Amino acid sequence: MQKKKTYAVFGLGRYGIAVAKELVANGMETIAIDTDQKIVNDAAVCLPICKCADVTDAEVISHLGIGNIDTVIICMANSLEASVMATALCKDAGVKTVIAKCGNELHQKILLRVGADQVVFPENESGIRLARNLLSSGFIDMISLSKDVSMVEIEVKDEWIGKNLIELNLRKKYGFNIVAIKSGDNVNVNITPEQVLDPEMTLIVIANTAKLSKLK
């Protein structure tokens, strides 16, 4: 059985708490960390693993075992220095993926320079959307259209290559509707059942959010 990914969220403001709650709600092992004890106490009501700690300290990172975490989301955009230190320490500790929230393009460049794998702007991407994209491993992007329906951009699976849509019958198997197929810079919305899929394509589909786990 495939091991579940583990997550850590640094900074429990509005954005960080939204990310952490969505991950926990989906059964992910998530450690939530903030430097303010009151914030940690409040968050502990809905988050099972909350710690009050300074993630800009290398010893703290080591003591918490952050190097064993698959993905760390750093949500401390109000302090560039803290975000930079936490990003660098996480990468030094061996964290595979570090995602950092930032306030502007200059901060984005700095965070990418010190090792962040992805930088998000909170005004462009909600914490819930980020968490859902993380949970939807293998999806390129996911946008919630409503509580129950999402539009998802997915890669063509190996077993789909060289087969047409009639053979694959993806709607019956996965419960989604293909609304467009991207190939390079071209987007085709006039899709025929005879369309053969190749590895350079990505599919834009509309699906019931609850059924997306079938695609993982």
Domain ranges of the chain: 6-135, 139-215
For the question of whether the overall pTM of this predicted structure is more than 0.75, the answer is no
Burial class (CB in 10 A: 0-12, 13-18, 19+), 193: exposed
What separation in angstroms does the CA of 51 have from each of 61, 168, 178?
12, 47, 43
Q: Are strands 50-52 and 29-34 parallel, antiparallel or unpaired?
A: parallel
**Per-residue pLDDT of the chain in tens (216 residues, 90 and over written 9):** 446 789 999 999 999 999 999 899 888 999 999 999 999 999 999 999 999 999 999 999 999 999 999 999 999 878 888 999 999 999 999 999 999 998 888 888 889 988 899 888 775 456 666 666 666 545 445 565 666 777 777 888 888 999 999 999 888 888 788 888 888 777 787 888 899 999 888 888 887 776 666 665
Name the superfamily (CATH) of residues 6-135: NAD(P)-binding Rossmann-like Domain (3.40.50.720)
Distance of CA 103 to the CA centre of its chain: 19
Paired with 73 in beta bridges are 9, 99
The rounded distance, in Å, linking the Cα atoms of 113 and 126 is 24
CB-CB contact of 49 with 26 (8 Å): no
Beta strands in the chain (DSSP E): 6-10, 29-34, 50-52, 71-74, 97-101, 118-120, 139-144, 149-155, 176-183, 186-188, 201-208
Residue 122: what residue type?
A: P
3.30.70.1450, 3.40.50.720, 3.40.50.300, 2.60.120.310: which CATH number matches 139-215? 3.30.70.1450
